[in-house]
Homo-oligomer: A and B are copies of this chain.
Amino acid sequence: MNNLASMQPSNIREMIRRNELVKPTAGMANGFAQANLAILKKEDAFDFLLFAQRNPKSCPILDVTEPGSPIPQMAAPTGDIRTDIPKYRIYRHGTLAEEVTDITSYWEEDMVGFLIGCSFTFEHALLQNGIPIRHIEEERNVPMYVTNISCTPAGKFHGMTVASMRPIPQEDVVRAVQVTSRFPAVHGAPIHIGNPEALGITDIARPDFGDAVTVRANEVPVFWACGVTPQAVAMATKPALMITHAPGHMFITDLRDEELGVL
Contact = CB atoms under 8 A, between A and B. Distances in A.
A129 B262 CA distance: 11
Interface stretch (A69-77, A141-149, A253-261): A253-261
Nearest to A180: B263
A262 B125 contact: no
A175 B179 CA distance: 18
A129 B182 CA distance: 14
A31 to B, nearest CB: 7
A263 B178 CA distance: 5
A58 to B, nearest CB: 22
A181 interface: yes
Contact of A125 (B129, B179, B181, B258): B258
B263 A182 contact: yes
Q: How many copies does the complex hold?
A: 2
A259 B130 contact: yes
A3 interface: no
A6 to B, nearest CB: 10
Interface string A236-248: 0000000000000
A89 to B, nearest CB: 33
Nearest to A124: B258
A6 B128 CA distance: 13
B178 A256 contact: no
A188 B31 CA distance: 22
Contacts of A256: 128-130
A178 B181 CA distance: 14
B263 A181 contact: yes
Contacts of A179: 258, 261, 263
22 contacts: A31-B128, A125-B258, A128-B256, A128-B257, A128-B258, A129-B256, A129-B258, A129-B259, A130-B256, A130-B259, A175-B259, A178-B261, A178-B262, A178-B263, A179-B258, A179-B261, A179-B263, A181-B263, A182-B182, A182-B261, A182-B263, A263-B263
Interface of A: 31, 125, 128-130, 175, 178-179, 181-182, 256-259, 261-263
Given A130-B256, A181-B263, A263-B263, 12 more contacts: A31-B128, A125-B258, A128-B256, A128-B257, A129-B256, A175-B259, A178-B262, A179-B258, A179-B261, A179-B263, A182-B182, A182-B261
